[in-house]
Structure 1
Amino acid sequence: MSFDLFRIFESGGTSLVEVPYTVKKPKQYFYTPVGGGTKRCIDLVLIALFIPLFLPLLAGLCLLVKLSDKGPIFYGHKRIGFNGREFRCWKFRTMVVDGDAVLERHLKANPQARAMWLRERKLDDDPRVTALGVVLRKLSLDELPQLYNVLSGEMSIVGPRPVVHAELANYSGSVKHYLRTRPGVTGLWQVSGRSDMSYRDRVKLDRFYASRWSNILDLWVLARTVPAVLMSRGAR
């Protein structure tokens, strides 16, 4: 069994072309994600504690996003989770509604931005991001709706950053480590520099997390999440 992925590359220096290629799914199917029932129980306890505290903030952010510009409040992007299952990862919308068209025009007009996008799937100055979106991303407030993903069992409070199909190609032999986990709202990547890190280093962190998971490691990540967010290290 395999995933059909698409690699975007520059053809003739003028356009972006999508070419299918394959990343094989590991032969082994994992019956329980890293941490098993213990990690899941802790997630549910934390959700029960967090939701009452965050409800006023969530309500206020919903209002701000709705009033900032026309468009939906939430944005659900398809990501890959435990055992290769696809799910919608929810965020507050931080981009303009016609973001795909805006990105395409920007990449065609800026070769350096195109190279960065192909390499890291991120941009230093993303033209799609709204003024409010810049603030939400800087403080990681756009990620709060993922508490719903945790409640539904698609994500965990702590884990690897959720990726899209195409990004699995960057994991090479580490794919199986990523697929053993539930992606996290926060994780080693988020507290270790975020976008300031290379993609290769991010993969190493995900592999380390899957191989060396413990409740102590999760607590360490949670303890570092708040200062990392307040200092906005590597936020884009």
Structure 2
Amino acid sequence: MNYKQGRYSNLIKPLFGLIDLVIINTTVFFFNINLKNAYIFNLYISLVWIFISVRNYFYEVERHTKIIKIITLLFRQIILFALALYAFIGVFKQPNISRLALGNYLLTIFALIFIFKFFNLYLLKKYRSVLSRNTRNVIVIGKNEKTRQLIKIFNTRLDFGYKFKAQFNTDSESFSLNNCFNYIIENNIDEIYFSVAELSNKQINRLIDFADNNLRELKFIPDNKDIYAKKLKYEYYDYIPILSLRAIPLQESVNKFIKRFFDIIFSSFIIVFVLSWLTPILAILIKLESKGPVFFKQSRNGFNYEEFDCYKFRSMTPNKSAHSAQATKGDMRITKMGKFIRKTSIDELPQFFNVLFGDMSVVGPRPHMVTHTNLYAQKVDKFMVRHFVKPGITGLAQISGFRGEIETDKDIINRVKYDIFYIENWSLLLDLKIMIQTFLNALKGEEKAY
């Protein structure tokens, strides 16, 4: 599993959002609005803009999004922002604010953001069409009128940034999904498009399993849009309807930015106010009981299956099987101090450095040892789906009773189910709920925390 997307386009949308915030905050000072406290006003409009942007999906503009939709998003954003802006007068009791100056300010930022947004869209289109950057390799499975139209779009709309690599004709005697799979892996294909009408249910299931287990995006070309569940993501590329199998909220740049911002703030807080004084104390206690390093480092698989060094406080005596054998109940390798910090999950606290460095998130699927990951990837269906997001210090599976030692296949299968549910249903509120439950579980102790 060496697949790596290696795209940095996820930084584009947060960057646009940051520039918009700069525009709305700096423009204030060009108008005599008569504010009592400009800093409170700037904080207010920044938070309001971010909140409205998230609810309005203002920055979720894809490469194939129609201009009319972008204009609609822009007008809705400004209207909602205007309502919140005038509400500031009543909420903060500032009757002396000039309504006329506030109106001129609104018109100015509307014009500036309108120009900026379309100028950047133009630059992005040129970036893809002229320089052939920010592109995705795609294949199409099936041969009919809709696939022909879709391939034409890929080849003519270079500004979309799709590189069409191959078409597989299902009516051909030489067609086999195994050939498709080999081609996808050998040619580093990012997205797979297939015609639902031309594959059997068994073939579709095989294709779904392959995409999940190899971190490829799978998209449907439907024959009848009414027969599909509303959970599927429905989009148009020009006039061709496309269905995406799995909508992952954390693939949306705004959500990714919010989660990363929260991770940085929370991990910094723990490092400064907890680890700064707790680490020296634990270092002395760990060293007094057994020889060896204070921290334990282990290679694990994270986002996009990439390996990283995961840190913990050492809870075992140094041993040769530390990187291959899980801790079991009554494990003789665990020290007395180690038993306490494992029971209270204190041994996991150094992973907040992993969070700060960007290898992990506070909440997400728990990462496994590399040897175990390779085993489970072959043994457990859809195990690789967990690597669509960053791993976490805690996760939904862990608070649901599936933490610690994997004693039976049922343990890892259920863990994967909870992880996939989390990936498909992520929200900041869900993260907060998991964190609170993790803290409560640590206080009362857990049966498998050994």
Whether these two folds match at TM > 0.5 is yes
Q: Deviations over 1:5-56 (max 9, x none)?
A: xxxxxxxxxxxxxxxxxxx6333599x7684111000101112322222021
Q: Is the 8 A contact 2:215 2:384 kept in 1?
A: yes
Quote the residue 1:46 is aligned against. 266
Q: Which runs of 5+ in 2 are unaligned?
A: 4-212, 219-247
CA distance, structure 2, for counterparts of residue 175 and residue 100 of structure 1: 24
CA shift for structure 1 position 173: 3.4
- C-alpha change, 1:136 and 1:28, in structure 2 (3 Å) is same
CA shift for structure 1 position 190: 2.6
Q: Which has the higher strand share?
A: 1
Q: Is the 8 A contact 2:215 2:388 kept in 1?
A: no
3-state secondary structure, aligned to 1:157 = strand
Matches for 1:11-160 after TM superposition, within 5 Å: 25-28=214-217, 35-54=255-274, 55-100=276-321, 121-160=326-365
Between the two proteins, the alignment pairs up a number of residues equal to 200
3-state secondary structure, aligned to 2:439 = helix
- C-alpha change, 1:199 and 1:209, in structure 2 (3 Å) is same
Q: Is the 8 A contact 1:177 1:211 kept in 2?
A: no
- The TM-score, its normalising length taken from structure 1, stands at 0.75
Quote the residue 2:397 is aligned against. 189
Q: Cα RMSD between the aligned structures?
A: 2.8
CA distance, structure 2, for counterparts of residue 208 and residue 215 of structure 1: 14
Q: Is the 8 A contact 1:33 1:82 kept in 2?
A: no
The letter of the residue matching 1:73 is V
Q: Which has the higher helix share?
A: 2
Q: Is the 8 A contact 1:99 1:128 kept in 2?
A: no
Q: Which runs of 5+ in 1 are unaligned?
A: 4-23, 105-116
CA distance, structure 1, for counterparts of residue 298 and residue 268 of structure 2: 25
Q: Is the 8 A contact 1:80 1:87 kept in 2?
A: yes
CA distance, structure 1, for counterparts of residue 443 and residue 395 of structure 2: 15
CA distance, structure 1, for counterparts of residue 393 and residue 330 of structure 2: 23
Whether 2:439 is the aligned partner of 1:226: answer yes
Q: Bigger radius of gyration, 1 or 2? A: 2
- C-alpha change, 1:33 and 1:75, in structure 2 (3 Å) is farther
Quote the residue 1:179 is aligned against. 387
Quote the residue 2:419 is aligned against. 206
The letter of the residue matching 1:127 is M
Q: What percent identity do the matched residue pairs reach? A: 36
CA shift for structure 1 position 196: 7.7
Q: Is the 8 A contact 2:361 2:391 kept in 1?
A: yes
Q: Which moved more, 1:221-230 or 1:183-192?
A: 183-192
* Higher RCO (Cα < 8 Å, 6 or more apart): 1
Q: Is the 8 A contact 1:155 1:183 kept in 2?
A: yes
3-state secondary structure, aligned to 1:75 = strand
